[in-house]
Structure 1
């Protein structure tokens, strides 16, 4: 049996590149040759050994990487809708296929789901085996890097923007301008919103401005709240998205929202502290968690990228080979990269 190189994150900031067998496809599976696979901030929970997805099942015993894109090189005998040579991205949630959530397209809400890179072998390898139903066919002119970024990074924020209700009348605040927040700027602008983007790091604010943000602010600036009020005509924001997971950002966003506004919590955080009476009840806000996207949203994601000529490769600040995995995760952990992508 042929072997392949694959990356594992056993915890304690350890990165292991192992030689393992190339997986064999079952009747409903496909085998992909990997061309791009992104590093995500949630991967660092595996890197440290306290996985935010999968709990005790995510022990670093699986190939990491949940944002992959590649080419089909083998198909199971039951696969009819995909063929060798198809260029695809991969939906990270592997559901049971028959529960109400799966049949609605929300496999990430399936009670029996497995997550690529956490509880199922992921994309930081030379090859990956996945169920054919998890493939997302991409246009011929979309690069592998853009295809990988179109899933968790852009797709998650596109879905969050739609849940927030972004349209041409929206005034949206986005807190945290890492890869997710930057993708949120692109998605919110494409859906017609005016966007104020907030991050304490000057380089991130400058990048968000280049991506089309209407106003960029340092949230630690004492004048930032007043600037948001002026931006929103004194009425407050219609929507907010937090990608930072920071309690101060949660409170600032809730304070900045107009009555009947909507807020999506995207950034991971085990706990936070807010003031429900003043921030929620009196303003009748809608506040909800949002992560990933329904697989049935992907055609709209592709259409938005195409219609607005969005170049997702702009979000990839660094690329690495698989054999550079230790360096890639160390630099990502130290925030010396933004969106880092393994390519081959």
Structure 2
């Protein structure tokens, strides 16, 4: 089988490997779609997100996949061969309170596919059966891949921010995650203000449903948000751009007792806690991935609304062209790039 590897800095190689055998409690997945993520680019540029060691160069990246169950390992009972499944990216201890509640992403022993173990940018992968998320018949494979990291994270964020038809949310950053946030927030019925300095991204934001698009390079976005909301400020904001300016604007633009959801990875930031946080009595919520038990609810939401996640897929490639796909995605000129496999 073919598998993409990141053997050294800013280098992608596609290699031949044996098809893996599923172990006890595992299944073999024949991949159908696997989306590139900004986190893949951290590995590509040599930046650590998790505690990776030198062996990481041998690990196949990819943590936003879906495919078809090809083979069952010993003791597998909950999925069967031929099942269409999306893949939950988190591996936990399986016994702590967080794992038992489905919040695997906060387990102390959390590991991520594509970082700790071989991921999905390959023809096949093995995964514990509990990481298999059964896809509705109406969900295509590209949507299935995008429904996990993008869809699941932003669906959960919209719930945490209590969005509905009476709320206005400002989304800072209109890359893949921000665009997914626009789609999900509109699904919840909210009025959406999209903020980005890239006019092409703002054009897509309008196309997929944003009610207002603002470019902070051309005017004071916070002031414009206050004007749109009759001087009150937005009910909520979502930060999908990993920089200090985006976080500060998100804090500044919400009204008193508003809610801010932080999604973008950001190792440091400087804020004004007294004026932006305490005296406004706002809630700042970390929004990272989704509870595994929410998948059925999430999948039904995507199918029934419907949430057209495929609109944020800019380009598709076979895994044999992984180097080209990585370079394009790294350019920042596109939205989601997805590896696909045809029958």
CA distance in 2, matches of 1:308, 1:57: 44
1:56/1:164 Cα in 2 relative to 1: closer, same or farther (>3 Å)? farther
CA distance in 1, matches of 2:143, 2:48: 26
State the SS of the aligned residue for 2:130. helix
1:58 touches 1:118 (CA, 8 Å); kept in 2? no
Q: TM-score, normalised by structure 2?
A: 0.97
1:194 aligns with 2:157: no
Q: TM-score, normalised by structure 1?
A: 0.96
CA distance in 2, matches of 1:151, 1:145: 11
CA distance in 2, matches of 1:121, 1:72: 17
Deviation per residue, 1:83-126 (Å, 9 max, x gap)? 11100000000111111110010111111121011111100000
CA distance in 1, matches of 2:167, 2:250: 15
Aligned to 1:270: 267
1:106 touches 1:293 (CA, 8 Å); kept in 2? yes
Deviation per residue, 1:4-37 (Å, 9 max, x gap)? 1111123410112121221111121000100100
Aligned to 1:128: 125
Could you tell me how far 1:222 is from its partner in structure 2? 2.3
1:41 aligns with 2:35: no
Aligned to 1:82: 79
1:60 aligns with 2:57: yes
Could you tell me how far 1:274 is from its partner in structure 2? 0.8
Which 10-residue stretch deviates more, 73-82 or 52-61?
Answer: 52-61
State the SS of the aligned residue for 1:60. helix
Which 10-residue stretch deviates more, 178-187 or 299-308?
Answer: 299-308
2:52 touches 2:115 (CA, 8 Å); kept in 1? no
CA distance in 1, matches of 2:18, 2:95: 30
CA distance in 1, matches of 2:48, 2:7: 10
1:319 aligns with 2:316: yes
1:97 aligns with 2:91: no
1:38 touches 1:149 (CA, 8 Å); kept in 2? yes
CA distance in 2, matches of 1:54, 1:258: 38
1:243 aligns with 2:250: no
Could you tell me how far 1:38 is from its partner in structure 2? 0.3
CA distance in 2, matches of 1:199, 1:336: 13
State the SS of the aligned residue for 2:17. strand
State the SS of the aligned residue for 1:59. helix
Structure 2 unpaired stretches of 5+: none
Aligned to 1:211: 208
1:343 aligns with 2:340: yes
Which 10-residue stretch deviates more, 229-238 or 129-138?
Answer: 229-238
CA distance in 2, matches of 1:278, 1:81: 51
Which 10-residue stretch deviates more, 200-209 or 307-316?
Answer: 307-316
1:62 touches 1:120 (CA, 8 Å); kept in 2? yes
Structure 1 unpaired stretches of 5+: none
Deviation per residue, 1:31-60 (Å, 9 max, x gap)? 010010000011111001112133447733
Q: CA RMSD in A?
A: 1.3
CA distance in 2, matches of 1:141, 1:246: 37
1:57/1:254 Cα in 2 relative to 1: closer, same or farther (>3 Å)? farther
Deviation per residue, 1:212-252 (Å, 9 max, x gap)? 11111112222422220122121111111100011111111
